[in-house]
Amino acid sequence: MHNVLVPLYPARVLKCFLLLTVFAWPSFIAAKPSAQFKLKGAMGERYEKCLEEWLLTAPYANPGMLEMYRMRNSDRVNIVPWYGEFSGKYLTSAALAYTMMPDERLARSIEYVVDKLAEVQDSDGYLGVWPDAQKFSGMSQGNTKTWDVWSHYHNILGLYFWYKVSGSKKARKIMLRAANSIYDYFYLNNRLLDEAKDGTDAAIGHAFALLYELTGEKRYLDMVELAFKTFASDGGGDYFNDGLRSVPFYKMKRQRWECLHALETIAGMYAITHDRQYLLSFANIWRSIALGDRHNTGAFSSGESACGNPYDLRGIETCCTIAWMALSTDFVWMERDSRVADELELSEWNAFLGAQLFNDKVFTYNTPMIGEKLPSTTSIAFQRTDLSPDLNCCSVNAPRGFGMIGQWGARATDEGVTVNYYGESDITLFTPSRKRIAIAQTGNYPFGDRINLKFSVAKGYKGNLLLRIPFWSQNTQVMRDNKKIENVKCGEYLEIEGLRNGDEITLIFDMSAHYWHGDRELKGKSSIYCGPILLTLDQRFDSQGYSSTPTLDLSTLRLSPAKDNTDSQPRPYLLIDASDANGNHLVLCDFASAGYTGTSYTTWFPVAGNQVPVQEMQPWGDRNISKVGK
Ligand SMILES: [Zn+2]
């Protein structure tokens, strides 16, 4: 055992490694998915379009995704330093989507990519797009450092998710050979990962943590340790130690969004060791981002970094939000804290769906709080080549937002069934002992207040039911078989004893308006939510335009369904008339529909001072969110 970990690394954890290494590893069996979701309603409709228009077509319509590997030692066009990530991000998005909703056509698209990667992998396991002389720590044609290790990270991650759901021996072989080539290059040759690339090299620690969990092979743990050593090095972000010291992420030495994937190494180490130091560090970092850098849309980052100011109006990259959702997905099952899933719900329905654009094929690069949504294929067109006209970091990464629902949405253990995701869907869960729990969700939530859950429970199941009650829903009604459950509290899980076959649960959420009052650049303005949905003024539905909205009196604001007088397609999921006692009047839509056709929008509205009764509602402490009556 190489004791090369960071200074705060405890001796008892090393002992724990030894025990785990010897005793804890089952033989390889690709796990059948423990959660499948057939998404319906708005989320299902958007997913179906992404499947048809992107997941089933992207590798064929963009042959450069794979041909750039084959051409790596030949003359070819210039490519961006991170080009190799495109295949990996595609695989991760597609494999998680498949895990959630199996589809034979999607399996064929994924296998096509896996087959091509097998063909182009070098004899030493190298799985990159750069010439032999530039492997791993070399330079691109533009004479900048390549992101080769980062690209391997994404390819290994995508292959890992595909192996987990399909059991593909080919995927496993490519994945482990690629991992071994990195181990040989760095660990055996005493090379350090390059943290000057802002977490892009060190993110490989996350992949190695997953591979160590999967195989128990010590060399993979060696690489996790190397990632921790890189964090603690002079040029490193020191995320783990700073997390233990409660330093907010934006004050750490490195704050770019790519570091979030490096941070996932800490979550990976917690999964391996169950040592609470990793949980503490990770939780502190996660909460600091939720408090300081998560915008009103549920998106993360300003100008591709953390800055400790959610009112910062710089661009919000889709990759950053996906990384934030991945971090939250790691966190959601670590502690029994329903507010982590509240965050994911906010991100899914607003920032993520709001980044999907009019032809349902492309996503944005930037999804601002105020402005316009433009396709990533035009706003970051420098990443394209003629062989890959649709590819850029965000176009391949964004669809992961659908598949992540399968990871955070629900779970069954022998002790209980937890439901985090609410929305029309058919969910099938399996406990570790393969007991089947099916949940049929019907109702109009989140664009209405009601969701019904009907359970089909395997014989002999003895677990309880845990229902997420969102932090904003102060008066939630919950009925079990038409009998009201008392003492339902918001911001925590409601535990219902003894889940039974045929159980029917109805939840009616408190959809009265709640607000986030802005500060700094957005002082004097507020955001308005209806449940988890951020209300937005889009010039498509309200011609007042975002720069000339009237000052609202929130204390008398009334929300009511608005009549859509336009025939503009597609229809919004929610259209609300917001009126105050002074005769001010706005027509607001849901953030996912806002700017969908290229129009301008805003999510922040001028409000009059001293009019808002303040009742703290924000789950992360001192952010000024309040709630008023219906
Ligand atoms: Zn991106």
Q: Which structure tokens are listed for 66?
A: 């794979």
Ligand 1 center to 5 CA (angstroms): 31
Ligand 1 center to 380 CA (angstroms): 9
List alpha helices for 255-312, DSSP H: 259-273, 276-292
pLDDT of residue 32: 66
Q: Which structure tokens are listed for 202?
A: 């060190």
Ligand 1 center to 392 CA (angstroms): 7
3-state secondary structure 451-478: EEEEEEECCCCCCEEEEEECCCCCCCEE
DSSP one-letter string for 176-236: HHHHHHHIIIIITTTPPP-GGGTTTTTTHHHHHHHHHHHH--HHHHHHHHHHHHHHHSTTS
Q: Which structure tokens are listed for 317?
A: 């990259």
Least confident range from 129-133, 198-202, 422-426: namely 198-202
Measured CA to CA, the distance from residue 148 to residue 385 in angstroms comes to 18
Ligand 1 center to 295 CA (angstroms): 17
| 178 pLDDT above the threshold of 50 | yes
Ligand 1 center to 304 CA (angstroms): 9
Please report where in the chains the tokens 């060696």 appear, as a residue.
222
Ligand 1 center to 235 CA (angstroms): 24
pLDDT > 90: what percent of the chain?
84
Burial class (CB in 10 A: 0-12, 13-18, 19+), 85: buried
Ligand 1 center to 103 CA (angstroms): 27
Instruction: Name the residue with higher pLDDT: 559 or 10.
Output: 559
| 547 pLDDT above the threshold of 90 | no
Ligand 1 center to 122 CA (angstroms): 27
Ligand 1 center to 337 CA (angstroms): 29
Contact, 199 vs 261, CB < 8 A?
A: yes
Ligand 1 center to 390 CA (angstroms): 13
Ligand 1 center to 374 CA (angstroms): 13
CA dihedral 219, 224, 225, 229 (to 10 degrees): 140
Q: Which residues pair with residue 455 across a beta bridge? A: 439
Average of pLDDT values for 313-330? 98
pLDDT of residue 584: 95
Ligand 1 center to 563 CA (angstroms): 37
Q: Which CATH architecture has domain 410-508?
A: Sandwich (2.60)
Ligand 1 center to 27 CA (angstroms): 37
602-622 confidence digits (pLDDT tens): 999 999 854 444 333 344 444
Average of pLDDT values for 411-415? 96
Measured CA to CA, the distance from residue 497 to residue 507 in angstroms comes to 16
What amino acid is encoded at 51 in this protein?
A: L
pLDDT of residue 423: 98
Ligand 1 center to 90 CA (angstroms): 12
Measured CA to CA, the distance from residue 309 to residue 33 in angstroms comes to 38
Ligand 1 center to 623 CA (angstroms): 28
Ligand 1 center to 593 CA (angstroms): 21
| 170 pLDDT above the threshold of 80 | yes
Nearest to 294 by CA among 628, 630, 618: 618
Q: In terms of DSSP bridges, do strands 464-469 and 416-419 run parallel, antiparallel, or are they unpaired?
A: parallel
Ligand 1 center to 404 CA (angstroms): 17
pLDDT of residue 25: 31
Ligand 1 center to 230 CA (angstroms): 24
pLDDT of residue 560: 95
* Mean of the per-residue pLDDT values of the chain: 91
Average of pLDDT values for 425-429? 98
Ligand 1 center to 319 CA (angstroms): 4
Q: How confident is the model at residue 544 (pLDDT cuts 50, 70, 90)?
A: confident
pLDDT of residue 247: 95
pLDDT of residue 150: 98
Ligand 1 center to 534 CA (angstroms): 23
Q: In terms of DSSP bridges, do strands 601-602 and 533-538 run parallel, antiparallel, or are they unpaired?
A: antiparallel
The helix, strand and coil proportions of the chain, stated in percent and rounded to the nearest 5, come to 40, 20, 45
Sign for the CA dihedral angle at 485, 490, 496, 499 comes to positive
Ligand 1 center to 71 CA (angstroms): 24
Nearest to 127 by CA among 154, 164, 161, 108: 154
Least confident range from 503-507, 583-587, 624-628: namely 624-628
Contact, 624 vs 516, CB < 8 A?
A: yes
Ligand 1 center to 584 CA (angstroms): 39
Ligand 1 center to 408 CA (angstroms): 22
Least confident range from 122-126, 187-191, 261-265, 565-569: namely 565-569
Which residues fall inside 5 Å of ion ligand 1, going by CB? Answer: 319, 393-394
pLDDT of residue 446: 98
| 1 pLDDT above the threshold of 70 | no
Ligand 1 center to 317 CA (angstroms): 6
Ligand 1 center to 307 CA (angstroms): 18
151-167 confidence digits (pLDDT tens): 999 999 999 999 999 99
pLDDT of residue 362: 84
- Asked whether the bond before 446 is cis by omega within 30 degrees of 0, the reply is yes
Q: Which structure tokens are listed for 255?
A: 């704050």
| 624 pLDDT above the threshold of 50 | no
Domain ranges of the chain: 38-191, 410-508, 513-627
Measured CA to CA, the distance from residue 609 to residue 614 in angstroms comes to 12
Least confident range from 86-100, 134-148, 546-560: namely 546-560
What amino acid is encoded at 503 in this protein?
A: D
Ligand 1 center to 434 CA (angstroms): 38
pLDDT of residue 609: 59
Average of pLDDT values for 398-403? 98
258-300 confidence digits (pLDDT tens): 999 999 999 999 999 999 999 999 999 999 999 999 999 999 9
